[in-house]
Structure 1
């Protein structure tokens, strides 16, 4: 989220209270800009290559490369769940493999029962919409629905007999089982790797927040009297507001800390050694979380320590010892002891399957996105058929792949997909002589393209598409050779058709529920902040901790204190999750090109007060409410 162009200076949506509907411009400049690669890009890349290489080479030696689509269906599941601890990864990958095999079974069964291309396009489009909504509801993360749709849309148009379906599904399931083993194998070497990386990200985000706040306070002192657009001296935020860079860093830190806590909560503690390891990570995370209560004073030394600890976590060295000053000990020891207790989810928050169903309930903002995918894919496939292209599923996959959280991101993805596919076709054309060396050379090229795609796609989607396009063409070639000119022309036409038609449907079917999601998120943050403030006031009231009680009264006081600590932990969880949800809802709604003006002042007040209260929960002290 947040990739759309942001307004600077005076708000472009100042008429938030007027209810006016405005058309927002779609950005161009940031579409092809390269980013830093994701820190763990090599993990899914190497896992996918290993999971693909073993069955592909086996099929080569058996002379059955015609089955490579089915082994690829299972092997591609190795791209998922690399950010989860191994216990949770095992469960998630199992669901991904079962979902992939079930989707493949639906596609193959439909292909065996009908030869109507128009009807198969409809089935493929409906399944693509289901993939999009379920992946968004489960928040499975990259590559989300793209791989599922790519494999199953292709399978709808593979010549198939009903009696072949069980065997092909069994092949896919076997490859999926191998992918599961490949993704779980690193647990034998670094069993705490995922949670260490999650805590390292939180430490790095906290260090970034400290550096940003330090620069902001330092820069404000030397500013001139010239006023910026907001009426405050240039370089300063208006009174009571946080500088934009510091606010963004604070949001990033809160999100990283919240994600790390939930990662740690997924780690089972069955042995004293595992309990000690998790406790050490929790203590580091408490230190990172304490930065949310930073008061703006210079903290370059603390930022350096947090960054150094993050590097030690990533390197696999023993957990660093966290030395606490007297003030930090007063603020953090209680929180650290809370974190060591078994965690229970906050009451009223659905989890697991119930949470997924709640996100797909009537009125969900995911429903318009599903409608976009279904309509765009159907129309793209039919237009491709009308033009006479022999591979309409490419148009379906292109349309499905461009749909993101909002119109702005979908526009960017459409441009990136088109550019990447064009360059990928040029690359495939240049490498055509290598494909004539034999099937083993084609397998090697496909594996190299898979590795290149994962290495590049986190820098920018168009760069990854340069490798994805020739890999997809090679998979097509294993099923049956086609003239290179026809194959390249069909792919280019389908890419343009899928991008144009899909984007048109995205613009026509606007997500009006995005603004409603903001209102719901504002209500959740307000309720969580009010409850947290009451808990803070109660926890610091005289005699609240029962420390001076004795005998039975002392035990009762300890029990009340434990319950209050659990409530504070729940309050932190609810408030942090609410702030993350609010920021995500704002970013989604702000990227819709035709939307009511956003209530920016209410959003800013809710986020500022929410983060202030969250800092108070970290400190375990009451938070003063600013005067109106």
Structure 2
């Protein structure tokens, strides 16, 4: 590691790039929603003999992949925003395709749209699959020959697909109207339960170290309060704090009701557990989480509704503590997201132009590949590039296997695409490369909806576009550095300091009530989550200003000590009562 003028050059890692993670807990909801939303218009168009129009209905139908973590009232609004963004993007792409067949112009239009998609999705935190679906559909439409008079009809088809997607995503509200908020709270409970498990694993690892070096060294690197916490403990603590924080944001989107009050009481206990790590409560919390996921009656806790309202009501203030700009301000040149948008635009344009110069028949594949590479920092982008290459290579082999089946008839073609869409949503939660194994043949089969294409040429084009897109994406990440990550760390440190000062002033005014203590703790948790996220993003840049590591470690150490102290008023108040449920 070299150091010059306060900057460091970091190697890009290979470790863990292809490791498989756990299954996503609601992957089936994304998968089923997308399959149903795609199947309805595809089968209708197949019956009409107009499967060539499926690209337009698919643009709207793919909106069904979004907003599954939001409560239904908020989901309805979020999906409307997704739909409007999708139709606007497709409208621009189709208009460009109708006005010119000059490929350079279409590449530039697609690249600019890709940058807008990236910034907008990051600013709104819409969540997976993020900007990629918008970019894929818009870039594909930009390279479909159009007449200007056809654009309104094709946009109407996209709107029909979007309406189907909206209805599919909202349909579960009839059966389980409180499902999303239950799952959010269950995730928070499960995350805090993993805290003592991580601590136990660290204790075992430290015990078997004959020289005692583990316990002596890890605390200095993590900045935790014990001096013996490992990186696993720090990651578990951050994951738990982030899950609790996300659950509060979800709950605050739900109108006040007795059920919301019951969920708030569970989160109050999760906050306490997060601060104290009370091992004796782990089984109880795991049981509560299981009850929430299985749609059983809401568990009763040892807080009354009035007490929980006093504690949980102050979480509204925490919701205002956001680390990212709003949608409009995200596009300002001073925004921390602006360099990311520049990266995407430059890398995507370069990928499309090189692909076009190489004579590849589908340059939009290179644009989408480059856009897919760009992540929050250079390290994540490097890992995504490697995953994309491996997944596409395996996907091309799968396409060769599936090709004879797809040529049986158009019904077989449609069914294969739907099956691959379902498999993509299932596997991508394990690792991105595994999902890409299914995405690649699906993208190739979609090009055959208007008619069969030469298989050899498609395979060659796809592989060349993958290589070109990955190379251009990485080049954009390496050349367009995001030095504003340091500013985000400074802002996050300021929030932690403000929350810390507020917490330390409580004893000066006399014994803090549970509402005051919980309010101070809530704001401090949110600030620590933002600091950890900002630090990890900055740490992933290959060329960056030297971060204030000691200051970060000191802030996190003090913050977690304060969290434990602030939990005492709640523990003293509720500890004497029996626990229900």
TM-score calculated relative to the size of structure 1: 0.85
Is 1:200 paired with 2:186? yes
Question: Which residue of the partner structure matches residue 578 of structure 2?
Answer: none
Question: Structure 1 residue 620: deviation in Å?
Answer: 4.0
Question: Which residue of the partner structure matches residue 423 of structure 1?
Answer: 394
Secondary structure of the residue aligned to 1:496 is helix
Question: Which residue of the partner structure matches residue 291 of structure 1?
Answer: 273
Point out the more displaced range, 417-426 or 218-227.
218-227
Q: Distance in 1 between matches of 2:550 and 2:356?
A: 49
Mapping of residues 562-573 of structure 1, within 5 Å = 565=515, 571-573=520-522
- Residues 1:233 and 1:390: Cα distance change in structure 2 (over 3 Å): closer
Is 1:414 paired with 2:385? yes
Return 5+ residue gaps in structure 1 as ranges. 1-11, 270-274, 546-563, 623-628
Contact 1:124 1:396 in 2 (8 A): yes
Return 5+ residue gaps in structure 2 as ranges. 572-581
How many residues align structurally?
570
Secondary structure of the residue aligned to 1:27 is coil
Is 1:42 paired with 2:28? yes
Contact 2:114 2:344 in 1 (8 A): yes
Point out the more displaced range, 213-222 or 416-425.
213-222
Q: Distance in 2 between matches of 1:359 and 1:228?
A: 43
Q: Distance in 2 between matches of 1:45 and 1:601?
A: 44
Contact 1:34 1:459 in 2 (8 A): yes
Contact 2:37 2:161 in 1 (8 A): yes
Q: Distance in 1 between matches of 2:219 and 2:98?
A: 70
Mapping of residues 313-332 of structure 1, within 5 Å = 313-322=292-301, 324=302
Question: Which residue of the partner structure matches residue 551 of structure 1?
Answer: none
Q: Quick one: which of 465, 484, 489 aligns to 1:494?
A: 465
Contact 1:228 1:234 in 2 (8 A): no
Secondary structure of the residue aligned to 2:328 is helix
Question: Structure 1 residue 301: deviation in Å?
Answer: 3.5
Secondary structure of the residue aligned to 2:213 is coil
Point out the more displaced range, 217-226 or 188-197.
217-226
Q: Distance in 2 between matches of 1:588 and 1:351?
A: 12
Question: Structure 1 residue 24: deviation in Å?
Answer: 1.1
Contact 1:220 1:236 in 2 (8 A): no
Q: Distance in 2 between matches of 1:50 and 1:291?
A: 40
Contact 1:82 1:194 in 2 (8 A): yes
The RMSD of aligned alpha carbons is: 2.8
Q: Distance in 2 between matches of 1:263 and 1:540?
A: 31
Secondary structure of the residue aligned to 2:23 is coil
Mapping of residues 123-522 of structure 1, within 5 Å = 123-214=109-200, 216=202, 226-228=212-214, 230=216, 241=227, 243-244=229-230, 245-269=232-256, 275-294=257-276, 299-322=278-301, 324=302, 336-339=308-311, 341=313, 344-345=316-317, 355-522=326-493
Q: Distance in 1 between matches of 2:225 and 2:108?
A: 56
Q: Distance in 1 between matches of 2:204 and 2:407?
A: 63
Question: Which residue of the partner structure matches residue 557 of structure 1?
Answer: none
Secondary structure of the residue aligned to 1:356 is coil
Q: Quick one: which of 65, 74, 77 aligns to 2:60?
A: 74
Question: Which residue of the partner structure matches residue 525 of structure 1?
Answer: 496
Q: Distance in 2 between matches of 1:148 and 1:184?
A: 21
Question: Structure 1 residue 128: deviation in Å?
Answer: 0.1
- Residues 1:303 and 1:568: Cα distance change in structure 2 (over 3 Å): closer
Q: Distance in 1 between matches of 2:221 and 2:479?
A: 41
Question: Which residue of the partner structure matches residue 604 of structure 1?
Answer: 553
